[in-house]
Structure 1
């Protein structure tokens, strides 16, 4: 029962839903709870700012200052990255509240347990998303509960037959989260967390991947990096028999589940296969194009290639143009590439400060966990690759693991001193 409650609470942190009738998102509600907890701690003289927060707050202050400088010099009024540090601080408060509540519920607050809970949350989202895809009335119910603009609702409705729409999770953002879940699940398999339940892990991996590419093909990036984690090597070219055995079990389980699922759907629901054709065409477009024309591309990647537009003014590289979007709401300079959007807003130093923020939280999150260095490298690689496609910010998930790590160190230190 406690795990189910923790799962639900984490769900609304990972997927901040803005419900009808509630003025703020579910994640922001956690921030308000955190403020109360912090004030109570100050009154009781038990709240102390952990030293791990200082580098993060410092880089957020630098981002804020650089953003102010950029819009002042360029004479613009785009406050996107002036608001960003405030947003990250609110997310850190939310993560703090969630971890404190878990602690009160006697939920284990260590990396591996929260990682398994995170994977379960993404799996749950995938189940809900599939139900929304196959049951139109359920889709209407779930979308009617959320505050969604008319334009966004029309866009979601027009795409609902060719791609899977989740509950507060869709498009590129959904692909980022699904891909990260595959990477973390692969890590948990690698360290032996699912040795006794490999079939369960295989089913989750396959399901998140299959539904994930139906939501956003960005999931393929996470899938590819997850496979790197599953290579049976302890180090560079050093074979690991235990990892090899786990991988064989995973491969056999996934193959069996894929075969069983396909045969079951084909026999029991033959008409369903035909209705899923638009979804298959979307999810597997690059492979279909490869077999038809020999080109491993999609409409999205072809469009992305036209978005690599670089500044012609040397000053843009130093201070940016102070613009993230234009008045019409479209991307400034017509580019959706993550690095270029940052470059045009506040220059190269802005890009470096953004990456530094991700690195700081990721580094703290993976310290002291088994194979932490490997996990740090693959998630950092994931972030760096994603930003060649769009603006990919993993701060909300990293803030959770960052907070878990801070709490874990705090109580480990307390136990040593007592």
Structure 2
């Protein structure tokens, strides 16, 4: 029964992190909204149960910033006489994500009767690895692909099949890549900072294998995953102090496990690369930049070439209104001819809106840095991930922050949060 409950909660996590619609339910009713319908009343109930009508200061102040961002978007829509409310209703989008996250975190804390970032991250790791494996199964087993396409709708399934891209259930393209990237960063943060993992070699193997699977298959699904790989690998390298003359025993042990895991994954990858035509094509797509670097001496891909040559499009030099407040054009991105995040935000709500949006994530990163001090670097790296990601696409990563806002909400934090599990007692 407990195993069934673990699987059920894992499914809820996937519903949150990779939302989709069921084809037999009304259009627009995705799994994120279903979870939010449960989570928002649940949050209110917990406030009443605590006999407090307060929410955490992190949620309060971030909501105020999101409200300002929405007002800027609304003003741009009104000024430009458009009906593109993509980010003009961001405050409601934020609370839908937060409500959905609250449902998931409540389910995890209830099942385990305690709450920690380590436990929560483990669920997200398992879900992401499962999505990677499922993507291969969907691609290689026609019956599974037919079932998934028939009952699960991501809104882009037809396009994915036309361009022959890997996808899971709700996990595809840059959206999946950014979320895989966030989990890669979480893995390295746990490896370096959680004291319980340091005393458990099996867990080091678990995190190492999960990391390499996400890097390998994740890049086949979305090459945006390489951003998370780059950030997390750099953090792992410098935090482990391997360039010093004297290295901690744990860091030596950790790197031994990582190297063994790399060799094993590399052996399997090379075998299938040489014996399976489909895997050959997937690997060459996922790691196109590395193959070009080895074979041609330059790290480049078709998508980076396109980004660097034709996608950097800004408003005209004298179009001050667009530069300042935008022209409320986001959903129809082809109208301005660019998919780069910074450019799209400027075209939608100008430099004012872009500045508020950056400040929104900066505040969240600083606030959560102070809330969960032992994992403070996680929120710095998530902020870096957001800034780098917008050089390519405009994918919003607030849902990742929503996880930790839910953990830090008064009821769940006071009732379930186990500081010792995350090593905060040792930190203090």
TM range (shorter): 0.7 to 0.9
1:247-276: CA deviation from partner (whole Å, max 9, x where unpaired)? 42233222332254247647xxx75x2232
- Is residue 341 of structure 2 the alignment partner of residue 338 of structure 1? yes
Matches within 5 A, 1:8-407: 8-23=11-26, 24-38=29-43, 40-41=45-46, 46=51, 48-50=53-55, 51-147=57-153, 149=155, 152-160=156-164, 163-192=165-194, 193-195=196-198, 196=200, 197=202, 198-233=204-239, 240-242=247-249, 244-262=251-269, 265=272, 271=275, 273-305=276-308, 306-312=310-316, 313-326=319-332, 330-369=333-372, 371-407=374-410
Q: Once structures 1 and 2 are overlaid, which stretch shifts more, 286-295 or 233-242?
A: 233-242
Say which is worse superposed, 391-400 or 245-254, in terms of deviation.
245-254
1:190, 1:230 within 8 Å by CA — same for their partners in 2? yes
CA offset at residue 190 of structure 1?
Answer: 1.1
Q: How far does residue 277 in structure 1 lie from its aligned partner after superposition? A: 2.6
Task: With the length of structure 1 as denominator, give the TM-score of the two structures.
Answer: 0.88
CA contact (8 A) 1:176 1:392 kept: yes
How far is the alpha carbon of 1:365 from its aligned partner?
Answer: 3.5
| Inter-CA distance 62–174: structure 2 relative to 1 (3 Å threshold) | same
Tell me the CA shift for residue 363 of structure 1.
3.4
Q: Deviations over 1:120-159 (max 9, x none)?
A: 111111121121122122111112111355xx33321123
Aligned-partner Cα distance in 2 for 1:124–1:395 = 22
- The alpha-carbon deviation at position 176 of structure 1 amounts to 0.6
How far the C-alpha of 1:13 sits from its partner, in A, is 1.0
- Given that 1:209 and 1:219 are in contact with CA atoms closer than 8 Å, whether structure 2 keeps it comes out as yes
Contact 2:113 2:416 in 1 (8 A): no
CA drift of 1:233 comes to 3.5
Asked whether the 8 Å contact 1:230–1:247 carries over to 2, the reply is no
Equivalent pairs, count: 404
Uncovered stretches (5+) of structure 2, i.e. residues with no partner: 420-428
Cα offset for 1:47? Answer: 5.1
Query: With structure 2 as the length reference, what TM-score do the two structures score?
Result: 0.86
Instruction: Give, in whole Å, the separation in 1 of the partners of 2:183 and 2:218.
Output: 10
Superposition CA RMSD, Å: 2.7
Contact 2:192 2:239 (C-alpha < 8 Å) held by counterparts: no
Unaligned runs of 5+ in 1: none
